[in-house]
Amino acid sequence: MNINLLAKKLPFRKMHGLENDFVVLDARQKEIILSKSEIIAIADRRAGIGFDQLLIIQPSQKSNGVFMSVYNSSGDRVETCGNGARCIAKIVMDDLNIDEIVIETLAGPIKAIRQQDDLITVNLGKVKTGWKEIPLKQELDTLNLDLGIEALPSGVAVNVGNPHIVFFIRNLDNIDLNKIGPKVNSNKIFSEGVNVEFAQLLSEDHIRMRVWERGVGITKACGTGACATLAAAVKKGLSQKFARVTLDGGDLFVELTENDEVKMTGPANNSFTGFID
């Protein structure tokens, strides 16, 4: 790590949601500014701490809650993070001894509520399917998006605070996610890149899903990806509006409400704390 990062001696918390792991920094009392190279250094799983996403808790300018800044391990800032939102909600609700919180993000507010058994529900807001909302570079049918990649079925593009494309297939074991994920993400039709999900329908209320996240790669779980997968399944008439989504790291429970808002329930776990020194 470079000398500027060493000089900061930042306290951090390592957390995860179904093994989608985060380094969390708290900037509610004192501003934290990191360069892209510093973020990449912290993300290094050999020389740094390692994470899928870096989350920074900041004061909110719009509510009594907090603002969550999200950076991928590539060092790029992104709009939001579903599993990360549950982790931030746990920290703030535990600190304030409350059971509800609003988390502001670049994609808009996320409402979080503590449930029984130490689970947390987050409402990511309305699902968007317009081609400009994904966003795509040109007008195309987002519910039947053919990327022209051999042996790949048409996908469903949705935005749940960040862009996703979901492919429904018969057997997840037949997909080389490390190969196909970057190929889909680099397709020029996606203005801002895209998170890539492959989903297998096990029943009308149970979906198995694997994910390749832009700026990260394969992760054990993706909360917004689980939400995008259910939303896509409902839009295609393949699923009920409430379903269990099984990821490599475990299960999330996702609901698409009558007004097209998507809610996700799952755990938020502490791993350890320390200092970047």
Active site positions, annotated: 81, 222
* Distances, alpha carbon 125 to alpha carbons 82, 111, 159, 227, in Å: 11, 8, 10, 11
Alpha helix positions (H), 1-142: 3-8, 36-43, 82-96
The one-letter amino acid at 188: K
Closest CA to 200 of 238, 237, 165, 252: 238
- Which pair of tokens denotes residue 41? 């250094």
Q: Helix, strand, or coil here: 204?
A: coil
* End-to-end alpha carbon distance in the chain: 9
Q: Where are the beta strands (DSSP E) in 184-247?
A: 195-203, 206-213, 217-219, 242-247
**Dihedral class, residue 151 (left if φ above 0, else alpha if ψ from -120 to 50, else beta):** left
Are the C-beta atoms of residues 181 and 221 closer than 8 Å to each other? no
Tokens of 136: 């795509």
Virtual torsion, Cα 149, 173, 17, 157, nearest 10 deg: 30
Q: Residue 157: phi, psi to the nearest 5?
A: -95, 130
The tokens describing 138, both together, are 């040109």
Task: For residue 89, give the amino acid letter.
Answer: A
> Which residue type sits at 144?
N
